[in-house]
Amino acid sequence: MKNLQTLLGITKQELTAVAIIVGGLICGIALKIFAPQDNSHLHYSALEKQIFATLDSVASQQQSTYSGVGLQGNALDTAAYNTTPEGKAEQKKSNSLPTKPINLNAATKAELMMLPGVGEKTAEKIIEYRKLQKFSSPADIMNIKGIGEKKFEKMKQYLSVGKK
């Protein structure tokens, strides 16, 4: 063992780690070659397929609404940013309008930014407002500084105040 350590120029712990990894690989290959082929996992029940579909939809929803933290420690909605080839995040404004009403009491920052006339700062104001008090009607959005009658008229068809 000491000869192998000296030959490879590694410590005893590194040699042990390499031995474990190589042993695991050999066991895996042996199982793949000599284990009987069991394809029962390919025949999922309808319930299992429904569970997988639900998990996939939850994962895609979480991916599109994930909020992280930027370099300065401020909140960052990844759905509101494009990443350039250089790895820099550039903010984008979604030109698509919501396809269903947005719940003011539960919407993410990215969802709120889909509303006509709502940018990042206004979305943050809406979130801060609802922390203090829930929206009881869509018209309550006019309590947010920067949202008046004209903006409300443009966005009211996309607003709801459903239960959280």
Per residue, the 3-state secondary structure of 60-111, as one string, reads HHHHHHCEEECCCCCEEEHHHEEECCCCCEEECCCCCCCCCCEECCCCCHHH
Q: Is residue 135 part of a domain?
A: yes
Residue 35 within any structural domain of the chain: no
Range of the domain at 120: 102-160
The verdict on residue 65 lying in a domain is no
Q: pLDDT over 70 for what percent of the chain?
A: 73
- Rounded to an integer, what is the distance from CA 11 to the centroid of its chain? 41
Mean pLDDT to the nearest integer, 3-13: 85
Query: Residue 102 forms beta bridges with which residues?
Result: 159
Indicate whether 131 belongs to any domain: yes
Which of 10-14, 86-90, 159-163 bottoms out in mean pLDDT, i.e. has the lowest? 86-90
| pLDDT, tens only, 89-145 | 444 444 578 888 889 998 898 889 999 989 999 999 999 999 999 999 999 999 999
Beta-carbon contacts of 3 under 8 Å, excluding residues fewer than 6 positions away, are none
Looking only at the bridges linking them, the beta strands covering 75-77 and 102-103 are unpaired
pLDDT tier for residue 20 given thresholds of 50, 70 and 90:
very high
Question: Is 156 a residue whose pLDDT tops 50?
Answer: yes
Instruction: Look up residue 38 and give its amino acid.
Output: D
For residue 84, tell me if it sits in a domain.
no
User: What pTM, to 2 d.p., does this model score?
Assistant: 0.43
On average, the pLDDT of the chain sits at 78
The count of domains in the chain is 2
pLDDT at 91: 46
Whether 8 is in a domain gets the answer yes
3/154 Cα distance (integer angstroms): 78
Question: Does the residue 40 lie in any domain?
Answer: no
H/E segment holding residue 120: helix 120-132
Phi and psi of 22, rounded to 5°? Answer: -65, -40
pLDDT of the residue at 32:
83
User: Quick one: which H or E segment has residue 159?
Assistant: strand 159-160
Residue 7 placed within a domain: yes
CATH number reported for the structural domain that contains residue 147 in this entry: 1.10.150.320
